[in-house]
Amino acid sequence: MLALERRTLRIAAAAAFAAAMAGAQAQPAGVNASRILIGQSAPLTGINAELGNDIRNGALAYFRRVNEAGGVHGRKIELISIDDDNKVPRAEANTKKLVEEDGVFALFGYASATLSRPALPIVEKHKVPFLAPFTGADPMRVFNKHVYNMRGSYAEELDKIVDHFEPLGVKRFSIVYYDDVVGKENLSAVERALAKRGLKPVSVAAFADRAKPDIEGGLKQVAAGQPDVVILTTLYKATADFIRLAHKSGMGFSMASNSFPGASPLAKELGQDGKGTIVATVVPPPTKRSLPIVQEYQHDIELQTGAKNYSFTSLESYIGAKVLVEALKRAGPKPTREAFTQQLESMKAFDVGGYAVTFASDNHNGSSFVELTVIGQGLKFNY
């Protein structure tokens, strides 16, 4: 009888273990009865901290709205943000921690292609959805079944900049870029835009070190070509330093930038030196209250930050967060990564309130929206 009882207990324990394992397997990573974990690596300190914090606050502002209304099918959205100080090794380590230790459901809102690309092997290994990387760089636009871009490309932005000047008879363009994979893609994008119009750059400046760019040397390289327009594709601090030194040196060329530095952080960094600088943007102006999404965003970002800290960057992130939540809603009360990505791919002209996103099974680039803005007096923007 004793042997029989021991055998019965072993069978019962095995059955209980199997049931527990089945329950664990049924519950997807990052999801429990009360919350859904979303992971982010971003520069919350260092030379690109304003950009990183804007991205984080934009997402938090929308998640706060959702959570205060009861969450998604009763679950709150929790964003785990880890500082990478704009350093690639830290961004890679953060991604491993978020995915392999914290077990997040999805990744969201990395601040550049340079910080996003090291995440891709981890994303592919664990089949983790990766939404709204803050970049339009070509390497992140190549189709990847796990990556979903919410915004237009740098190539589209740079073509728009050239297209703005070319009808005015401007033919002499210079380019400032980083001497790395992403920077060289930006250089190629401008060269293609110029070639379409029978033009070539008259000079270029390549910064080898993102952390300590040689601004003075770069300006000398650019000035040697006597350009009418300089197109910058660098971080907001480097872009601002270049523009300030050009003004101080009496250079008369026009300045234009793609969206990489962020129009709002760039304007703030430049102060009065920014007047007249053209910046490409990939979302509507954060002050355009005729759009429902802007009204909603302004209300929520004020709650999140305690001030009227409106920016193109946080609006872009807010829109990305809204798309993420919509896909979670559509995935139902028992969300899986597979159901979530299926719902993303089924989005056709999803209107967040004056801005539309469309995905397909063979196209994860959700928007081609690009406008140009001009930094005006008192950190205001003209369109």
Q: What average pLDDT does this structure show over 306-332? A: 97
Q: Which two tokens stand for residue 161?
A: 């900049």
Residue ranges of the alpha helices (H) in 80-233? Answer: 88-96, 113-116, 120-126, 138-141, 154-165, 181-195, 215-223
Q: pLDDT tens-digit profile of 328-353?
A: 999 999 999 999 999 999 999 999 99
Please say if the pLDDT value at position 265 is more than 50.
yes
Q: Tell me what pLDDT residue 380 has.
A: 75
Please say if the pLDDT value at position 249 is more than 80.
yes
Place 379 in a pLDDT band, splitting at 50, 70 and 90. Answer: low
Gap between the Cα atoms of 120 and 151, Å rounded: 19
Q: pLDDT tens-digit profile of 64-90?
A: 999 999 999 999 999 999 999 999 999
Nearest to 162 by CA among 224, 218, 229, 221: 229
Q: pLDDT tens-digit profile of 353-366?
A: 999 999 999 999 99
Q: pLDDT tens-digit profile of 173-231?
A: 999 999 998 899 999 999 999 999 999 999 999 999 988 999 999 999 999 999 999 99
Q: What average pLDDT does this structure show over 259-279? A: 92
CATH T-level topology, domain 35-151+289-368: Rossmann fold (3.40.50)
Q: Looking up tokens 């952390």, which residue turns up?
A: 211
CATH architecture of 154-258: 3-Layer(aba) Sandwich (3.40)
Place 322 in a pLDDT band, splitting at 50, 70 and 90. Answer: very high
Q: Looking up tokens 């943000």, which residue turns up?
A: 81
Query: Exposed (0-12), middle (13-18) or buried (19+): which is 102, by Cβ within 10 Å?
Result: middle
- Express as a percent the part of the chain with pLDDT over 90: 85
CA 362-149-323 angle, to 5 degrees, is 100
Q: Looking up tokens 């939540």, which residue turns up?
A: 325
Length of the chain: 383
Which sequence spans correspond to the domains of the chain? Answer: 35-151+289-368, 154-258
Place 47 in a pLDDT band, splitting at 50, 70 and 90. Answer: confident
Q: Tell me what pLDDT residue 382 has.
A: 77
- Please give the full DSSP string across 260-295, using - where no structure is assigned: TT-HHHHHHHHGGGGTT-EEEESS--TT-TTSHHHH
Give the DSSP letter of residue 101.
Answer: I
Is 35-151+289-368's fold the same as 154-258's?
yes
Q: Can you say how many angstroms the Cα of residue 156 is from the centroid of all Cα atoms in its chain?
A: 16
Q: How many CA atoms lie within 13 A of 272 on its CB side?
A: 1
- Please give the full DSSP string across 337-382, using - where no structure is assigned: HHHHHHHHHT-SSEESSS-EE--BTTB-B-----EEEEE-GGG-EE
Gap between the Cα atoms of 72 and 333, Å rounded: 8
